[in-house]
Amino acid sequence: MNRREFLKKSLALAVGTSALLLRGSAGRALATLVSGPADLAAVRGGEPEDMFDRGLAAMGGMKRFVSKGQTVVVKPNIAWDVRPEIGANTNPALVERIVRRCIEAGASKVYVFDHTCDLWKRSYLTSGIEEAARRAGATVVPADQKRDYRKASIPGARILRETYVHELVLQSDVFINVPVLKNHGGAGLTISMKNLMGIVWDRGEFHSRGLHQCIADLSLLRKPDLNVVDAYRVMTRSGPRGTSEKDITIRKAQVLSTDIVAADAAAAKIFGTEPSSVEYIRQGDALKAGTMDLNRLKVERIAL
């Protein structure tokens, strides 16, 4: 150990100790400074928007993802024409907070959309997401017309070598994926990777050509810069649409990650499912779209 190294280490130790001593946000910011931002932050015990703020801080803050003047796409799950309490769509308060943080970080434009299953107008309205996102300053756009989708090829894909993808996803500087964790009749679970089916035009193709492999393939197209898994209200059965609030377990959790496969692996565990038992997570790992081995990542666990 030379002098330079010694000084560096002492400084780190000092900062680290003061981070421990300092309570609250200053301490947390210092801790992040020392050890570097996390690859994955898991948060529990708070409201969705508060958990996001804490998780985001551990991930290095919004400045890590959004620079001044950049365009951002925030892609929640707005598939269904149901109330937020049903838990079939992403929590609107969470979407609102994410949009707000993007704009605070200097984003020139934040787009919010989903290629819905039910009629877009009704889903955008009933989910509460359109209103919440607008309130925070987002541009909420429909995605029900094929002319907004561009043919894109997916290098490395096994089945889905090309598909029509919404042009905003292809053009924007930053892509933030905001799924909701749910049981899913077809895919088993729907989390981050499955949520990307809302950026393509032809979902039927996925079902007819091999659902799991197509989901894994699509995650190679454009890696989201950040995935935020809403696991506050978790639909544990009758997914993905749900029949009533009886299908919901309030878990008060959230997963943030730059790694889409890891985000799904962590969320699957929160759901109570072994990630490797979900075929598309396994295939995403095999395609190196990310890793389902959480031990290989820097994971922050935060309890509120």
Partner 1 sequence: MKRIRVRPLFVWIFLSGFAALFLLSDAGESGLLGFCAKIQVFPAFFRWGITLFLFAGMTLLAGRFYCSFLCPLGLFQEAVHGLGKHRLSGYHRGTSLRYGILAAVIISMATGTIGLLHLLDPFANFGRGITQILRPVLVAANNLLASFPLPGDMPRFLHVRPPAPLTPFVAMAAGIFLAALAAWSFFRGRPYCDGLCPVGTFLGLFSSHSFLRIRFDEGSCSNCGRCEAACPTACLSARKRRVDGDRCVLCLSCIEACPHGALRLGILPVGEGLQRRAFFRVAAGLGVAISLSAIRRSWTPSVLPGTAEGIEPPISPPGSRSHENFIRKCIACSACVKACPAGIIRPTLMAWGVSGLFQPVLDYDFGYCQYECKSCSTVCPTGAIEPLSLEAKQRVQIGRAQFHRDACIVVKNGTACGACAEHCPTQAAHMVPFQDGLTIPEVDASLCIGCGACHFACPASPKAMTVRGLSTHGSARPAKTPGEGPVLDPLEDFPF
Structure token pair of residue 293? 């081995």
Residue type, 164: Y
Q: Is 144 in the site for partner 1 (CB under 8 A)?
A: yes
Q: How far apart are the first and last CA of the chain?
A: 39
Name the segment binding partner 1 (CB under 8 A); options: 25-33, 141-149, 169-177, 216-224.
Answer: 141-149
Write the DSSP assignment of 137-153 as a string of letters.
T-EE-----GGGEEEEE
User: With contacts defined by CB under 8 A, how many residues of the chain interact with partner 1?
Assistant: 58
Q: How far apart are CA 113 and CA 103, in angstroms?
A: 17
Instruction: Among 145, 153, 171, 276, indicate the residue that binds partner 1 (CB under 8 A).
Output: 145
Q: Is 187 in the site for partner 1 (CB under 8 A)?
A: yes
Is the distance from CB of 145 to CB of 200 less than 8 angstroms?
no
* DSSP-derived secondary structure letter, 245: G
Q: Which is nearer to partner 1, 31 or 197 (CB)?
A: 197
Residue type, 244: S
Is the distance from CB of 257 to CB of 263 less than 8 angstroms?
yes
Least distance in Å: CB of 142 to partner 1? Answer: 6
- Region 195-254 residues binding partner 1, contact defined as CB under 8 A: 203-213, 231, 233, 236, 238, 240-241, 243-253
Q: Which is nearer to partner 1, 165 or 214 (CB)?
A: 214
Structure token pair of residue 86? 């049903």
Among 137, 130, 129, 132, which Cα is nearest to 108's? 137
Name the segment binding partner 1 (CB under 8 A); options: 4-12, 58-66, 81-89, 216-224.
Answer: 81-89
Q: How far apart are CA 131 and CA 290, in angstroms?
A: 33
Least distance in Å: CB of 207 to partner 1? Answer: 4
Least distance in Å: CB of 273 to partner 1? Answer: 10
The residues of the shown chain that bind partner 1, judged by CB under 8 A, are 42, 44-45, 81-82, 85, 109, 117-119, 121-122, 126, 142, 144-145, 147, 184-187, 203-213, 231, 233, 236, 238, 240-241, 243-253, 265-266, 269-270, 272, 279, 294, 299, 301
